[in-house]
């Protein structure tokens, strides 16, 4: 578990045996001109949610890049995470069913 402040926590589902402390990055004041990565984790209807979200993001001036995990049952492959990290300013992950 990562403590954000006294009232918020981020739970890390990968391992709670050795909790790590992570600094949350500040949110951008605007998405205009930024590249937003949309990560579909390959669950049913996640793409439907991301299609709607992409239209809204483009409408506010963001550039959108779409990514998809091979399966929702495993973490994203290292090469996919690297590609997202070097090509996007922010990332939104779809968890819809």
Per-residue pLDDT tens for 65-90? Answer: 999 999 988 889 999 999 999 999 99
Provide the CATH number for the domain formed by 26-94 in this structure: 3.40.50
Reading the block at residue 77, the tokens are 């492959």
pLDDT in tens, 43-71: 888 888 899 999 999 999 999 999 999 99
Report the C-alpha dihedral over residues 5, 6, 8, 13, rounded to 10 degrees.
Answer: 80
Model pTM? 0.74
Say how many residues make up the chain. 97
Burial letters 22-51, b for 16+ CB under 10 A, else e = eeeeeeeeebeebebbbbbbbbeebbebbe
């Amino acid at each position: 578990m990562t403590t954000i402040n006294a009232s918020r926590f981020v739970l890390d589902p990968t391992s709670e045996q050795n909790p790590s402390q992570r600094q949350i990055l500040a949110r951008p004041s605007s998405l205009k001109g930024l590249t937003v990565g949309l990560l579909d984790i390959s669950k049913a209807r996640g793409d439907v949610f991301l299609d709607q979200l992409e239209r809204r993001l483009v409408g506010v001036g963001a550039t959108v890049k779409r990514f998809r995990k091979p399966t929702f049952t495993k973490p994203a492959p290292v090469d996919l995470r690297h590609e997202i990290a070097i090509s996007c300013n922010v990332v939104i992950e779809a968890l819809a069913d």
